[in-house]
Amino acid sequence: MASLDSPITIVRPHLIEFGIGTAAKLGKWAAEKGFRRTLVISDAFNAARIDLLELKGEVTVFADVTPEPDTANLEKVLAAANGADAELIVGFGGGSAMDLAKLAAVLAGSAQTLHEVVGPNKVHGPRKAALAQVPTTSGTGSEAGIRALVTDPRTMAKLAVESLHMLADIAVIDPALTFTVPARTTAATGVDAMAHCVEAFTNRKAHPMVDIYAIEGTRLVGKYLARAVRDGNDAEARAGLSLASLYGGFCLGPVNTAGGHALAYPLGTRWHVAHGAANALIFPHVLAFNTPSAPEKTKAVMAALGRQTSDNTTSVFDAAYAFCAELGIEMKLSGLGVPESDLDAMADDAFAIRRLLDNNPRDLTHADIRSIYAAAF
């Protein structure tokens, strides 16, 4: 784990608007900047309410974002972006919409292809269009970061692009936009936000400058997630989760996630399990596995979630499992339709995600990963 004197680079969107009723501030900001042509990248549900953003001028809407988007979905987005010749690109939705907006901002009109920019710092800048992010869920924290992921359907692997050129000029976080999120999705995305924080907090690259966001984001999920699941119109709870998601996004840039996300990704790429649901199912298993390597931080995590545990891995697992299960989250792979015959292939896929596994506080071998999937089945 990094010490206080270890170097670290912190980035944030240039402007963050946060709070109930702030959605319309995007239109005001865009008008002040003089943007005349805007492309909004969204899913069908959110595309139907873009009037909340109060954008002026010529507004083109791409409303075909799919969950866990793949390269074919990105190609459609890029075609729309090239056709719109937008001065401003807006990601309006969950992490999928915001990630595609990032990629559109740097690839539309560029000589570079997706495969040329996969990895860290390969995007040639500057980008042509401004970028705005407006999250409508509380989970990914994508509005705050410089990474974007799409799935390669041929290999069923996530392609991760990281670049400062994908940092938003403005992020507008209006918790009121999340009031319509169903309880099940609220639960899963909330645990995803918490997983970002926990995996950064217990990370080999963990840093005191990020720890403060990580543990507070975890505390916010512990305090507000069950409330928001019970009552989606609880404004305070929704705001608390939106802030937790933002803090999780702050953790992703300089530290990033670790083993939990590595094991969750194959559920999405192979079986189209929603990202939040996959992370929730995996969370207690990896947290317990990591406990011997980060006992004090694990104890702090569980206290932030309102659960008292010992250093015993069984105690940690039981408490973390109960936290997720009590939210109504499906906690068995078999319950999500994943066949037992695919566990070996999933373990192969997860073990290959070195960019995350190398962050894990305890080495996860291929056998460890396979054992976790078996225990989760």
Strands 58-62 and 130-135: unpaired
Instruction: Report the pLDDT value the prediction gives residue 126, as an integer from 0 to 100.
Output: 86
Q: Are 190 and 256 in contact (CB under 8 A)?
A: no
Beta-carbon contacts of residue 159 (< 8 Å; ≥ 6 apart): 71, 114, 115, 118, 149, 150, 151, 152
- For residue 51, what is the DSSP state? G
Instruction: Report the pLDDT value the prediction gives residue 180, as an integer from 0 to 100.
Output: 95
- Is the pLDDT score of 1 beyond 70? no
Confidence of residue 254 (pLDDT cuts 50, 70, 90): confident
- Is the pLDDT score of 3 beyond 90? no
- Is the pLDDT score of 272 beyond 90? no
Confidence of residue 311 (pLDDT cuts 50, 70, 90): confident
pTM for this one? 0.94
Confidence of residue 4 (pLDDT cuts 50, 70, 90): confident
Q: DSSP letters along 296-349, please?
A: HHHHHHHHHTT----S-HHHHHHHHHHHHHTTT----TGGGT--GGGHHHHHHH
Q: DSSP letters along 77-113, please?
A: HHHHHHHHT-SEEEEEESHHHHHHHHHHHHHTT-S--
Mean pLDDT calculated for residue range 129-145 = 96
Please, how many CA atoms are within 13 Å of residue 305, restricted to the half-sphere of its CB? 26
Mean pLDDT calculated for residue range 240-269 = 94
Q: Could you tell me the domains of the chain?
A: 15-178 (3.40.50.1970), 183-376 (1.20.1090.10)
